[in-house]
Amino acid sequence: MLNTVYRLVAPRTFEPVVVSQDTAGKVVVRPTHLSICNADQRYYQGTRDRAVLDRKLPMALIHEGIGRVVSDGTGTFRPGDRVVMLPNAPVEQDEFIAENYLRTSRFCGSGFDGFMQEAMVLPPERVVLLPSGIDPEVAAFTELVSVATHAISRFDEIAHGRRSRIGVWGDGNMGYIVSLLLHMRFPDAQIVVFGRNESKLHDFTFADETHLVDDVTEVELVDHAFECAGGEGSVAAIEQIIDRINPEGTVSLLGVSENNVPINTRMVLEKGLRLFGSSRSGREDFERTVALYREHPEVVDYLGALVGDVVGARQVADLSAAFETDIRKPMGKTVIKWDM
C-alpha cells in the first residue's frame, strides 16, 4: 500500500513523502482526530537539543489520536470501527519491565513516524476499540488519559493504605486529568489540588480543595502526592510536596523537565518518602481508560472541558496553522480534525 506521511523535516517545516507499506496481517486505520502534545511542540519549535533534532528528524509527529478502521487482515475489527491508536510498539516482552519502559520499544513521534499520516498500518494489538457515541474530540487525547491511568495504577500498588488526603501539584492538563481519575478511583479520599493560576483551579470542580501554591501554610498535610507541574515548575512543586506530605508518603512524579531538578534528599530520608516516576503507558492502561469511558460517561464530560481549539487539516499549510494555534492556547488540548 502506498501511504503519504507528513514529516517534520526542520523546525516549523512539514513535507509530505510517499512510502510503501505492507498491510498483511495488519489493521489499516484512517486517522480522524489527532491531539497535539507538549513533546510535539518541542520538536515543532526546535527547542529540543540540536543533537536530538539532528538524530530524530525528519519524522511524523503526534502520538495522541483516534481513527476509523479501513481494513483488517486479521478480522479483529470491522471497517468503520472507531478506534484509539497505541503509539508504543514493543518488540519484546519482559517478566518485570512494562512495555512502556523497555528501552527497545518504538514510540510514535519520538524517533519513529507518528500519526500524521494518510493511514496508520498497525498490528491489531496496537488498536483498541472505542465505545460508540464517544466524543471524538475528547477521545483524541486518550493516550494522555492512559498515562494518568498508568501512574495511578502504579501508585495503588506502591503506596500505603492511608489515603485520606491525596495532593496533586499542577493546574494544567495532566493535573486536571490525574485529579479527576483519582476522584473516580478513590471516592473516599479528599483530592487536594495545588496550582499557580486561580482561574484554572476554578475548573477543578470535582476536587475537594484547591489552593494557590503561594498560600499553603494553613493547609492540612497530605498522605500522598502527584507532581504534575513539569518544566520549570517541577523544582518548586517537588520542594513543596516534600514539605507538605506526611511521613512515609508516596510521591508520583509525572512532570517532564528538560533540566535536572534538585531534590531535598535530607527530608526525603527523614520522612521515609517513596518517590517514583511514570512515563507513557501500555495496552492494559488504554483498555482500563476505555473501560472507564464506558462505565462512567461523566468522565468524558469532565474531560470535554480540556478541548480547546479544533483545527481542520486538509493541506500541508494547515498543519503549521494547527501548531501555531496550539502555542497560543492558555490551557487545554488542541485537536486536529484530520482530513489529509
For CATH 3.40.50.720, the residue range(s) in the chain are: 146-277
Low-confidence ranges of the chain (pLDDT < 50): none
**Residue 257 pLDDT:** 84
Question: What is residue 260's predicted lDDT score, i.e. its pLDDT?
Answer: 87
What is the model's pTM? 0.96
Helix, coil or strand: residue 252: strand
Task: Give me the half-sphere count of Cα atoms (radius 13 Å) on the Cβ side of residue 134.
Answer: 32
Which CATH superfamily does the domain covering 2-143+281-338 fall into?
Medium-chain alcohol dehydrogenases, catalytic domain (3.90.180.10)
CATH classification (class only), 146-277: alpha beta
**What per-residue confidence (pLDDT) applies to 70?**
98
Query: What is the per-residue pLDDT for 215?
Result: 87
Strands 27-35 and 165-169: unpaired
* Per-residue pLDDT at 185: 97
Q: Write down the pLDDT at residue 154.
A: 98
